[in-house]
Amino acid sequence: MFGHNLRLPFSIISVNNEWIGTLEVCYLEEKPELDEGPFLKEAKNLINAVAENIAKIIEREEAEAEIRKHQDHIEALIRKAAKKGDPHKNN
């Protein structure tokens, strides 16, 4: 589909030391050879930085989901305890 050059710069995306994907970048047309195939070394550094940011976003979203799950559980426990403590409500 995209480029037939196997020397594309890429960066592994890992979350909690587990590989979850790869960020690859390519040109749609031939370019002259530079530091990293047709890319400058700075471009490779940018690709790595973008992959790191993607991983951080995913980590944050997973952590927020865990927090919401625990909040929901705690709120359910509080409602249950409050219901048991109120003699006017059915248990």
Q: Is residue 34 part of a domain?
A: yes
Q: Is residue 24 part of a domain?
A: yes
Give the bridge partners for 23, in sequence order.
11
The residue range of the domain holding 64 is: 10-85
Number of domains the chain is built from: 1
Q: Is residue 3 part of a domain?
A: no
Q: Is residue 61 part of a domain?
A: yes
C-alpha separations of 82 from 50, 60, 70, 87 in Å: 47, 32, 18, 10
Q: What is the pLDDT along the chain (91 residues), one digit of tens a residue?
A: 454 544 577 899 999 899 999 999 888 888 787 777 778 888 889 999 999 999 999 999 999 999 999 999 999 999 999 888 766 665 4
Chain Cα centroid distance, residue 21? 9
Q: Is residue 90 part of a domain?
A: no
Chain Cα centroid distance, residue 33? 31
